[in-house]
Amino acid sequence: MNLENLNVKEEMSCNYDTMLHVYPTVGMDYSVLSDREKATLDKVIEKFKNYKAKDIVDYMHEEKAYTETKAGEIISFSLAKEIKKF
Domain regions of the chain by residue span: 32-86
The pLDDT of residue 15: 72
* 1-19 residue pLDDT tens: 666 778 888 887 777 777 7
d(CA 42, CA 2): 22
* 55-84 residue pLDDT tens: 998 999 999 999 999 988 888 889 988 888
Residues β-bridged to residue 18? 12
Contacts of 25 (CB under 8 A, 6+ apart): 5, 6, 7
Does the predicted TM-score (pTM) go above 0.85? no
d(CA 64, CA 36): 24
The secondary element (H helix, E strand) that includes residue 43 is helix 35-48
The pLDDT of residue 1: 60
Contacts of 18 (CB under 8 A, 6+ apart): 10, 11, 12
* 37-49 residue pLDDT tens: 999 999 999 999 9
